[in-house]
Amino acid sequence: MPADAPPISVTDSSESLADWVEVKTLWDPDGNGSQVELKKSLQMSGTTDALDDEDESTSRVEAWEDPCEAAVEGAFSEIEDRYHACGSGGGAYPFAVSREFVARDGHTHESVYAFLLLLSRFGHSAGPKGLHGEQLFEDLCACAAEAYLGGEHSGVKSYVFGFPRRLAPSGFRPALDDLCGALGEGGGSRERPQTASQKDAGLDIVAWRSFEDERAGKLIAFGQCATGSNWKDKLVDLQPTDWCTLWMQDRPAVYPIRLFFVPHRVSHRDWFFRCVQGGILFDRCRIARYSFLVNEALKKRLAAWSSHVIASTEAL
């Protein structure tokens, strides 16, 4: 287990405890994490007394339940749910799952899911110099958006607009002109008093599904990516109608839908509320599930970032 892994508690969410098991499995010499180990760590933490201060309406533990056993059961139910959310046997969930333990294989460290788990746990700056976690995440999310909308064979394309830009023009107006040209809609950038200070105005990726006639009126998705723990504060930042009105010469014939991407696992309890706020929500499992269009070059960069994080935070 990484030396700087935070202490765990029976009051932690099932999502946090499932993350703990997965992270432990990445570092474990035997390559697995079990219910027994999680329960032992919870018992050693001495946090069951904290349940006395927890609101009865929000507690996950019934009065008759052993709090450690209830926490372990919740964590492994969450792991099973992740397995199914990633497509079950399709390979996007990189751990073998059984009733009592999870195990990694020779490709787990190289998986998209492992990158997202480590990005969520350690942050975008944990990787090696020259590999920026937030930029890798944007590239990955663009691929996931393309796959979700139907893929290249359905005429789907994507554009990474987030600042700092790597392939698109660096300036806001030149980049927006370039994007509108690719979209075939929007008419280019509009000059505003605030234009000079804009970077991406909250827009990270764009994906769209075109028709053969190349006319206006198509499915366009505006996506925002958030890697930090403060992602909930950003859910309402991107409003496509306002964005197009402010920065485009002409509105698209059909306003874009919203996508919101996070490397974290979002709970069932919060899911509907977060979708209402941010649009179609892509959490860790959804991104991993729709990562099948990721090319080999990006796969190698994701794996290199993960390998660095694992090596540099190795247990003492």
User: What is the set of domains in the chain, with CATH numbers?
Assistant: 14-105 (no CATH), 133-297 (3.40.1350)
| Residues 103-120 pLDDT 10s | 998 899 999 999 999 999
Residue 65 is predicted with a pLDDT of 67
pLDDT band at 167 (very low <50, low <70, confident <90, very high): confident
Lowest mean pLDDT segment, chosen from 4-13, 58-67, 137-146: 58-67
Nearest to 262 by CA among 125, 149, 137: 137
Residue 62 is predicted with a pLDDT of 55
**Cα gap 225→92, rounded to integer Å:** 20
**Cα gap 184→190, rounded to integer Å:** 16
| Residues 253-279 pLDDT 10s | 999 999 999 999 999 999 999 999 999
Calculate ∠ Cα 95-69-11, nearest 5°: 90
Higher-scoring residue by pLDDT: 81, 51:
81
Residue 152 is predicted with a pLDDT of 87
| Residues 30-65 pLDDT 10s | 999 999 999 999 988 766 555 555 555 445 555 546
| Burial of 45: CB neighbours in 10 Å, binned 0-12, 13-18, 19+ | middle
